[in-house]
Amino acid sequence: MESTAVFEQLLYEERGDVAYLTLNRPEARNALSMRLSDELVAAIERVRVTSELKFAVIRGAGDNFCVGDDLKEMAEGAWGDANEYLHRVRHYQNMAYALEELDKITIAAVDGFAVGGGLEVTMACDFVIATERARWGMPEVDTGITPGWGGTTRLPRLIGRRLAKEINMIGALHSARRAVELTLWNRVVPNNGLDAEVDKLLDVLRTKNQQTLRQLKLIINKGVEADLYTAQGFEALSAGFSAAANGWWRIPDHDQGAGLEGFVNKDGTWTTRRPAAIDFWAD
């Protein structure tokens, strides 16, 4: 089944279990205007609430992925005063969180430039495949601004603080192969092989247990931000959930829903548990 949604600066298409989100301002190298950013937020939300979708592919129209925020729009004052500017940045941060936390597997398909906010989009995706001619970097320093939604936060978590300082403070543009060497991106393919490689990855991912993929994404994303012992707690709970999903869900000293059933019917366990607890140490 195919489905489309109409946006002004973004192309949205659902083909089977995949949503394709195409940044569609090729004349501006797919710079993230305020409208395009708002439409990307809306498209991500559409993907989030649709259970039939398992994957999302983000790409750019024309010869580029995305050159980041629309600096012309910013320079003209469209972002407003400092307080409004802060709110716009927080809006973009929420967009990156929403993308990162989708319970779908996300793939950034990168051709041409992926700089500034464009690079930040890739950092919120699960997989990044790029062409040989792709270039990336964080050039904000040379316009006197700083990144707002990943360049100084996700980037050092992915490649370390020393390299993140190099990328941000110098502002150079780097090759796709260096992104793979730094583990920032996954794969480099020939310039004419991007769509085919995305399809190959989708074919492999479709063979997996989709619930297991969702759990792996969640525990890796959350665990990397936590201390080891907390992260291993997530890991253990995920293992138990996997056991339940595989059919080994009965635990001898669990009441198998009798607690809720007792509450609804006001009998059974409810008539023993609540009287014992409701006034205990309540003075």
Give the per-residue pLDDT at 44. 98
* Nearest CA among 47, 222, 32, 68 for reference residue 140: 68
Phi, psi of 113 (to 5 degrees): -85, 135
pLDDT tens per residue, range 32-60: 999 999 999 999 999 999 999 999 999 99
CA 220 to CA 212: how far, in whole Å? 12
Query: Is residue 139 classed exposed, middle or buried when 0-12, 13-18 and 19+ CB atoms within 10 A define those classes?
Result: buried
All domains of the chain in start order, with CATH: 2-206 (3.90.226.10), 210-277 (no CATH)
- Average pLDDT of span 240-263: 91
Give per-residue pLDDT as tens, 162-190: 999 999 999 999 999 999 999 999 999 99
Q: Using DSSP bridges, classify how beta strands 135-137 and 174-175 pair: parallel, antiparallel or unpaired.
A: antiparallel
pLDDT, tens digit (0-9, with 9 covering 90-100), for 102-137: 999 999 999 999 999 999 999 999 999 999 999 999
Tell me the pTM.
Answer: 0.93
Confidence of residue 253 (pLDDT cuts 50, 70, 90): confident
Q: Which residues are catalytic?
A: 120, 140
